[in-house]
Structure 1
Amino acid sequence: MSNEATEGARRPVQTEPGVLVHSGADRQLATEHWLLSTLTDSKRQAARREWDRNGITALPMGTLMSAVQIPASLVAAATGGRFPSAEVDRMLGEIFEGGPVICDPKGHRYYALVPASVPRTWADALDDWRAQDVECLGKSYYLCVPRLDITRHSEAYASYWSVPMPSMATLCPPLRVARLIAAGMHALGAEAGADR
């Protein structure tokens, strides 16, 4: 072996700096802590017990996030899917760029989690949308939030993550939510016109 080859074998291999990768369990735990931070310290343990026992707990809206309540009929009209279904869940994930959505099968509603400021910034639009049963849940509202691992429709749970929350503070882009509502209203209007 030549001297150059021997020296090359002794030199450490240069690598690029790595990227810190968090496991799914770490992200889920951080997201759970973030969601529960909407509660006072004394209420967090009770909320954890409710998640463990019932798979759902009520969290206040309007501090870290708000929720846009969208009727299933509007979502089905906008996506062309049936309620509830894995197909609609997948389409909502694409439409909202992975932003989290909760499905309430018994109430026939979806809840898109959005920034806390949306009830204020959407005040005029919400007045028009209320006729379609669209509501924005901000301060003074509570939302029943499923445990983070409940990601499929099941009779065992009252609600599920139609689009799971990928990490803490990741929310639906409000403009995308508004576009879905407008598309659903347009589709329902077109259906009503065709029925006449």
Structure 2
Amino acid sequence: MSDARAPVEPSPGVLVHSARDRESASAHWLLSAAPALKEARREWAENGITVLRCGGIFTAIRISAGIMHAAAGTEDPVAVSDYLARVLRGPVFADQTSRRFYVLVPASTSKLPVWKGNTVPDVECLGGSSFLGVPRPGRDDPCETRCHWVVPMDGPGDLCSPHAVRQLIDYGRFKRAAVERADDE
């Protein structure tokens, strides 16, 4: 994982927000998607995860770990995190039990032609009728938690490009198919 908490030396006149400030701002922003705010805060405090509604301030693309690992060329959590941070430049979290990654994209993504009626195996665009368990910002240690941020939010509204996500999916599917073909030979 990249060290988002590394010290920063600002240039004169540049305002720098700490990782804790960015996590807090991201949490407040995400909580605006909570069906019940008090309950969501309590769930984050007690369990580190709460249910949020997709389609209002964000949409999520659910992608199988197989596609993500194929694209990254590894299953190593640190290497996968670094790769996704470089290519997506936005928030991604993972559920280790279901072996799925969730990429946060703008709410309008589900209306794009490429995502309407999506038929890509192991991929689903979760729009306005979907609810999703989302980890609390700052919950990013894969060794300690089942559901954690692989690439944390950098601040409120920090989302991935849906086009970059689609390219990553296509690349991962291509690499996975190439490995499967090689195994069959």
- TM-score of the two chains, using structure 2 as the length reference: 0.87
Change (3 A) 1:39 1:190: same
Instruction: Determine the structure 2 residue equivalent to 1:66.
Output: 59
**Aligned mate of 1:140, from 121, 125, 129:** 129
Kindly state the Cα deviation for residue 176 of structure 1 after the two structures are TM-superposed: 1.2
- Percent same amino acid among aligned pairs? 40
Within the alignment, does 1:170 sit opposite 2:158 as a pair? Answer: yes
Asked if 1 retains the 8 angstrom alpha-carbon contact of 2:72 and 2:79, the reply is: no
Amino acid of the structure 2 residue aligned with 1:87: A
Asked if 1 retains the 8 angstrom alpha-carbon contact of 2:24 and 2:137, the reply is: no
Q: Distance in 2 between matches of 1:35 and 1:183?
A: 29
Asked if 1 retains the 8 angstrom alpha-carbon contact of 2:91 and 2:158, the reply is: yes
Amino acid of the structure 1 residue aligned with 2:61: V
Change (3 A) 1:64 1:142: same
> What stretches of structure 2 of length at least 5 have no aligned partner?
1-10
Asked if 1 retains the 8 angstrom alpha-carbon contact of 2:88 and 2:160, the reply is: yes
Kindly state the Cα deviation for residue 105 of structure 1 after the two structures are TM-superposed: 0.6
Mean Cα deviation higher: 25-34 or 68-77: 25-34
Partner deviation per Cα, 1:124-144 (whole Å, 9 max, x = no partner)? 5722x1xx2100001111111
Q: Distance in 2 between matches of 1:184 and 1:86?
A: 18
**Aligned mate of 1:81, from 53, 69, 74:** 74
Change (3 A) 1:19 1:163: same
**Aligned mate of 1:111, from 102, 108, 111:** 102
Number of matched residues? Answer: 173
**Aligned mate of 1:35, from 27, 30, 39:** 30
Instruction: Determine the structure 1 residue equivalent to 2:4.
Output: none
Amino acid of the structure 2 residue aligned with 1:120: K
Within-5 A mapping of 1:156-167: 156-167=144-155
Higher-Rg member (1/2): 1
Change (3 A) 1:18 1:170: same
Partner deviation per Cα, 1:54-93 (whole Å, 9 max, x = no partner)? 11001000010001011000111111111x6111111111
> What stretches of structure 1 of length at least 5 have no aligned partner?
1-15
Q: Which has the higher helix share?
A: 1
Q: Distance in 1 between matches of 2:50 and 2:134?
A: 5
**Aligned mate of 1:101, from 92, 95, 99:** 92
- TM-score of the two chains, using structure 1 as the length reference: 0.82
